Structure 1
Amino acid sequence: DHLDSSAIFIPYIEKLNLENLTFAAPDVGSANRIREIASYFNAEMVICDKHRKRANEISSMVVIGDVTNRNVVLIDDICDTGGTLAKAAGLLIEKGATSIRALCTHPVLSGNAYRNIENSVLEELVVCDTLPLREHPEKIKVLSVAGLFAKAIRNAYENKSITSLFIHSQLRNK
């Protein structure tokens, strides 16, 4: 089983205590992941549909859904150059969002990623410590995966299921 960062991100989002919460998928491929998290919070979701002409270059992007006066949380699995998150955040603000933050499991952060994030309208980019950061700018917050890994290892060692660490289990127990 692949471990899922929702076990780390959900408690973080809960502590933010955001009103008018909406979750955003930065691309169509992330829609199912965002739908599960939005369902957990009983929140709305939107999708940023992007079109690329070349790798790492977005030619156009549209928002499917309404973000007017909403606090939006973008969630993605990998942040490479930060271009998609920065562009999506800017578009969501243009469409009326109150605030935008992004949560991303793996911070590859290549090329101009640090500059793209710092120059974006994102309030913060929250990442897991699955990859070391080259820089530690103010906008980037790192959450540890150690506790999640420890629980998974303990459960595997004790011949217990690790399913309880996944969001679909948390939805059943909520």
Structure 2
Amino acid sequence: MLFQVFRNEAETLVDLFCKQLQSRKKTHRLTTTLLRRSTMQYTNKQFVSILNGFGYKSKTSADGPNFPVSNDDSSLTDTVTVEAVKKLQKEYKLTVDGVVGPKTMAKAEEVMKILQNELNVVVNAGLPNNQPFYGPQTTAAVKKFQAKIKATQNGVASQPIRQELYKQFQNASAGC
């Protein structure tokens, strides 16, 4: 009798989890649809924050104290930033020229939306799907994920961190 009660409660919890996951999958599909309609025009410091947050650029004094979120709103033409842009372009198979044009801007928006969606599913980050910025909330969510996997908690979603996040996102999605 007691076993049956626990079994029923466990089944109820699994059903609830699956319903929540299905809702998140719908959000993921919605996010995927939204990715096709890129309209984001990042400021320079917002774009530098993305480069910092994805580990393409190392901290400089111009970034300020909240790295990876940057205070640097200067042009995107200094040597360090151009090299960071080239890393992003190379990773995502764009034309590697170091220039932040429309395709590079759109790809940055796309990868931000994907990162935030995966963080929402894996660590229940609560990041809004209409604000694809690498700001304090994204940094905190990345740190939460880094703590979960026992990695250094610096808020930088480097390629190995993003790969592990994607793996856990896939595992969470496969359960239902």
TM-score range relative to shorter protein: under 0.3
TM-score calculated relative to the size of structure 1:
0.24
TM-score calculated relative to the size of structure 2:
0.24
Higher strand proportion (structure 1 or 2): 1
Higher RCO (CA 8 Å, separation ≥ 6 residues): 2
Structure exhibiting the larger radius of gyration computed from Cα positions:
2
